[in-house]
Structures are given as structure tokens and as C-alpha cells.
């Protein structure tokens, strides 16, 4: 239930909030934001791959996702 909630909220934030914003005023994506965007999309697919067995993410897989996200944040903010 937790994973469904996380994925559902991400999809809503991406499609709903960003979609309404773009309808009101078109947005452009800077070239510097594209690598971060690609890594986020790759992480969603990685979660789906990790969930393929029993719809659960193990602790090791969760730690892998956490490390990837921390590296992405470090790259974006430092």
C-alpha cells in the first residue's frame, strides 16, 4: 500500500500539477535539468523492476534506491 501511494502521488504530481501549470503557462525545461529528470524516470522503472517478485522491495533494494537518490541530490545541490 505504501509503494502504491508513493508511485500514485508521484504520477499525480507529475501529470496533474505540472499538467495544469503547463496549460496555464507553457514551461521550458533547461538543459541542466534533463539529467536529473532522466534519473528520476530511470528510478521509477528500477522500482518497478525491484517489485517484480511479490510486489515488495527488499531492504537491500531500498538501500540501493536510497543511495541512488542521495547521489542525485548531491549532484543537483552541490
In which domain, by residue range, is 50 found? 2-77
Distance of alpha carbon 3 from alpha carbon 46, whole angstroms: 13
Is pTM beyond 0.85? Reply is: no
Task: Tell me the three cell numbers of residue 54.
Answer: 511479490
**What pLDDT is recorded for position 63?**
92
Count structural domains, the chain.
1
Q: What are the pLDDT digits (tens) for 6-43?
A: 677 777 777 788 788 888 888 888 888 888 888 888 88
Cα torsion at 3, 57, 38, 8 (round to 10°)? -10
Cβ(45)–Cβ(7) below 8 Å? no
Q: How many Cβ atoms are within 10 Å of 39's Cβ, its own excluded?
A: 16
Nearest by Cα to 37 from 48, 29, 45: 29
Amino acid at each position: 500500500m505504501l509503494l502504491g501511494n508513493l508511485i500514485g502521488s508521484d504520477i499525480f504530481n507529475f501529470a496533474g500539477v505540472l499538467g495544469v501549470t503547463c496549460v496555464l503557462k507553457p514551461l521550458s525545461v533547461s538543459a541542466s535539468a534533463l539529467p536529473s529528470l532522466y534519473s528520476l524516470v530511470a528510478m521509477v522503472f528500477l522500482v518497478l523492476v525491484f517489485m517484480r517478485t511479490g510486489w515488495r522491495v527488499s531492504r537491500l533494494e531500498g538501500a540501493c534506491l536510497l543511495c541512488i537518490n542521495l547521489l542525485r541530490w548531491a549532484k543537483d545541490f552541490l
